[in-house]
Structure 1
Amino acid sequence: MRRRLYFTVPDTASAQQMVNDLLLARIDERHMHVLARDGIPLDGLHEASILQKSDFIHGMESGLVIGGIAGILAGIVGILFPPAGVDLKLVTILVTALVGAAFGAWVSSMIASSVPNSKLKTYEKAIEQGRILMMVDVPSGRVDDICKLIASRHPEASSSNMEPTIPAFP
């Protein structure tokens, strides 16, 4: 399990040095994501993807649940009030739940991909001022070590916030 740490640094040179220090601490580059204001060149830093920038994952999860519930209700209504001449079985509820969940996840993830990540709201002002946000996913057992490393090597970095857990796939 990994935890996401957030740091803000003043410029790309500081961010690049932090990435180098984290690489030496055996944190893979794929676990480091950088977010900056438009127009700031990231010079080889791993830019945050749509999964980190938006509420895509939260939207997909919500749509999956809401669509699944709507599908179950549609299946129950279909069984209680079947169309003329059609004998619907109990498997109808399963099929409509799966279709509803898939449709709900798809639609809500498309909508949520255009919504900024609510977890990054606290960093908006710093990003607008030209600072660079670094999101670092570290193993749970190494959180204290990495925080101490960053504090000792990068006094210019504003301390981080920490998410309790992150999904395994982004």
Structure 2
Amino acid sequence: MRRRLYFMLPDVPSARSMLDELLLARVEERYIHFHAKDGTLLPDMPEANFLQKTDLVHGAEVGMVIGGLSGLIAGTLLLLFPPEGLELKTIAVLIAGFGGALFGSWASGMAAAAIPNSRLKPFAEGVEQGQVLLIVDLPLRRVKEVEEMIARRHPEIRFGGVEAHIPAFP
């Protein structure tokens, strides 16, 4: 299980130095991401991906729940009040629920893909001013160690919080 930590760095050179320090602390590069104004990061710095910059994952999750519930309700209503000449089985409720979950996830995910990640909203102003957001995904046992290392070596860096829930696939 991993936790996502957020840090605001003053500029790109300090972000580059932080990348080196995290790599020396044996944090894999695939768990380190930077979010900055377009075109300001160096080419060798790992940039935050589409899933981290948008609300796609959250939107798909919400859409799946709402779509699944809507599908179950629609399937139940079809079972209770079937169209004339149609005989439905109980499995129709499950199929409607599954179909609703798929459709809701897809539709809501597509809409949420156009929205910036709500978790990054507190950092948006700093990013526009030229600061760099560092996003690090760490195992739970290493969170305190890395927080202390960064606070000790870089007092100018602002800690932005910890996100407890990290989706498994990004």
TM-score, normalised to structure 1, is: 0.94
Structure 1, unaligned stretches of length 5 or more? Answer: none
8 Å Cα contact 1:62/1:108 also seen in 2: yes
* Residue of structure 1 equivalent to 2:125: 125
* Residue of structure 2 equivalent to 1:79: 79
Aligned-partner Cα distance in 2 for 1:165–1:87? 44
Secondary structure in structure 1 of the residue aligned to 2:47: coil
Letter paired with 1:98: F
Secondary structure in structure 2 of the residue aligned to 1:162: strand
Aligned-partner Cα distance in 1 for 2:134–2:157? 10
How many residues are paired up?
A: 170
Q: RMSD value over aligned CA atoms?
A: 1.3
> What are the superposed Cα offsets for residues 34-83 of structure 1, whole Å, 9 maximum, x if unpaired?
10112323321111112111111111110000000110111112112222
Aligned-partner Cα distance in 1 for 2:58–2:41? 29
Aligned-partner Cα distance in 1 for 2:120–2:49? 13
Report deviation, 1:169.
2.2
* Residue of structure 1 equivalent to 2:6: 6
Report deviation, 1:20.
1.2
* Residue of structure 2 equivalent to 1:40: 40
Give the 5 Å matches for 1:92-131.
Answer: 92-131=92-131
* Residue of structure 2 equivalent to 1:134: 134
Moved segments of 4+, more than 6 Å: none
* Residue of structure 2 equivalent to 1:151: 151
Structure 2, unaligned stretches of length 5 or more? Answer: none
Between the two proteins, what is the percent identity of the paired residues?
Answer: 49
* Residue of structure 1 equivalent to 2:24: 24
